[in-house]
Structure 1
Amino acid sequence: MCNSEYVVTAEFYDLLQAETERRRAERRFTEAARRARHAILDVGAGTGIVTEVLLAASATPVHAIEPATAMRSALLTRLAALGADQRARLTLDTEPIEAVALEGAADLAIAANVVACLSPATRRAAWQAIGRALLPGGLLLFDPPPAQLPTRRTEAGRLGPVRIGPDLYTADITQEPDRGIVRTVFTYCVERNGHIRRRERESFAVWPASPSRIGAELEAAGLQVVQAPTAELMAARRPAH
């Protein structure tokens, strides 16, 4: 996930985003997971939404990586509700991907909603680590970062409302350029009977990069850009030989 400790966002993430993220993960990653024969690497597992989809779609081990303690707590809560056979297939690492020493461990790597949140140096290190972790012929699927900075502050959307008892939960998302990065701010609000009871904010840095730049970085890490299964994603493969 993104470059933050998620101390605010973890409380609201599943409530406001889980169902949408699950449907999107099923649409984007299920077929690739079904084809995996050795293991799947889930880079930036967050609260485990994609992890759960991968475990359900495949019969292979899944290696999930999530450094943020708050998100990992939610991930473990989700895993507790799964069957023992699925939990037995999961390995959870708490270090960033570039610090996890995996060599030829997986034939599929997924990086959902994470690449844009890596600084250029960290992103390049991540490609190298993923390249080492993939078996020859292994496939990487990921969300590309935005190609360029926005020209001004923009309203990027709203999550919710979701009702719990008398309370309505929402999140407003804004984006603005900030010294070469995109500053994305989530403002979470809890409202009861028309009155705001709580308002919490958390911001994330997003590093834009053009597809050609990402392609050059992947090639430098020994990965070849290939056709992605959907227009939302980019894909790369470790050469078979």
Structure 2
Amino acid sequence: MTDQGPDNYYTVSAEFYDILQAETDRRLAERRFADAAARARRAVLDIGAGTGVVTAVVLAASAVPVHAVEPAVAMRSALLSRLAHLGADQRARVTVHPEPLDAADLSEVADLAIASNIIACLEPTTRRATWRAIAAALLPDGLLLFDPPPVRLPDVSRTTARLGPVRLGPDLYSADVTELPDRGILRVVFTYRVERQGRLQREEHDCFEMWPAAPELLAGELQDAGLQVVRAPSADLMAARRPRG
């Protein structure tokens, strides 16, 4: 990340996230998580809730409480703004936790946990602590769904995506996403641009670190935390359950 502490993460990206990514992420969240949320009977845990795209999808799909965990101030501000525009029934079902999951002290509160676009960004020690916190927060037979980190580093730096452009009044918002392998870590650089009448008005940069991990490594970590890998509902996810008893 570009900032010093977790409270300050995403201070650059939060401005651009929803306008460039929210609609795509909403459709992805509906495909990945809506069915599981509809089957939840106790509560849903949304780990790394960000600006609330997944949270809103889960609230719409389910009838149970939702615990939204988001320690980054910038993203949590956007999350609360999104929640403020929901109906009173949905707002009444959501609890926002401003600390990391392993500091939230949640014990057997949910039968579904979702970690979207976050596990890859946790360095290994934090990732293992997060598995333990998820296992503690899940009820017996509770299900975890997450998108796994990349398996390996790319051989060379590469631009992997272009977001936008999206027009807002006279301005065009866009971003390039570049992956840079660096000593075992994948640095993902977002270059945000705002153009007006063909002229660049602003350019901002944000960098996120990702830690590749093979599925076998993740399965071992999950097992150590008390979670058993199970078949995921889609090929781009991994899933695990907290065993009964």
SS at match of 1:128: helix
Residue 234 of structure 1: aligned partner: 238
Q: For 2:32 and 2:181, locate their aligned partners in 1 and report how far apart those are by CA, in whole Å.
A: 29
Q: For 2:233 and 2:169, locate their aligned partners in 1 and report how far apart those are by CA, in whole Å.
A: 40
The equivalent position to 1:29 in structure 2, one of 16, 33, 41, is 33
Q: Does 1:135 align with 2:145?
A: no
Contact 1:151 1:176 in 2 (8 A): no
Over residues 192-240 of structure 1, what are the superposed CA-to-partner deviations in whole Å (9 max), with x where a residue is unaligned? 1111000000000000000000000000001000000000100000001
Structure 1 segments (4+ residues) deviating >6 Å: 1-4
Q: Does 1:100 align with 2:104?
A: yes
Task: Please tell me the residue identity of whatever aligns with 2:28.
Answer: R
Would you say how many aligned residue pairs link Structure 1 and Structure 2?
241
Q: For 1:93 and 1:30, locate their aligned partners in 2 and report how far apart those are by CA, in whole Å.
A: 22
Q: For 1:85 and 1:34, locate their aligned partners in 2 and report how far apart those are by CA, in whole Å.
A: 16
Structure 1 length-normalised TM = 0.98
The equivalent position to 1:160 in structure 2, one of 161, 164, 173, is 164
Unaligned 5+ segments in structure 1 are none
Task: Please tell me the residue identity of whatever aligns with 1:169.
Answer: Y
The equivalent position to 2:208 in structure 1, one of 204, 207, 211, is 204
Aligned CA-pair RMSD:
1.3
Over residues 157-183 of structure 1, what are the superposed CA-to-partner deviations in whole Å (9 max), with x where a residue is unaligned? 100000011110000000011121000
Over residues 27-61 of structure 1, what are the superposed CA-to-partner deviations in whole Å (9 max), with x where a residue is unaligned? 11011001000000000000000000000000000
CA drift at 1:151: 1.1
Correspondence list, 1:40-189, <5 A:
40-189=44-193
> What percent of counterpart residues are identical?
65
SS at match of 1:188: strand
Task: Please tell me the residue identity of whatever aligns with 2:57.
Answer: V
Structure 2 length-normalised TM = 0.97
Residue 39 of structure 1: aligned partner: 43
Residue 14 of structure 1: aligned partner: 18
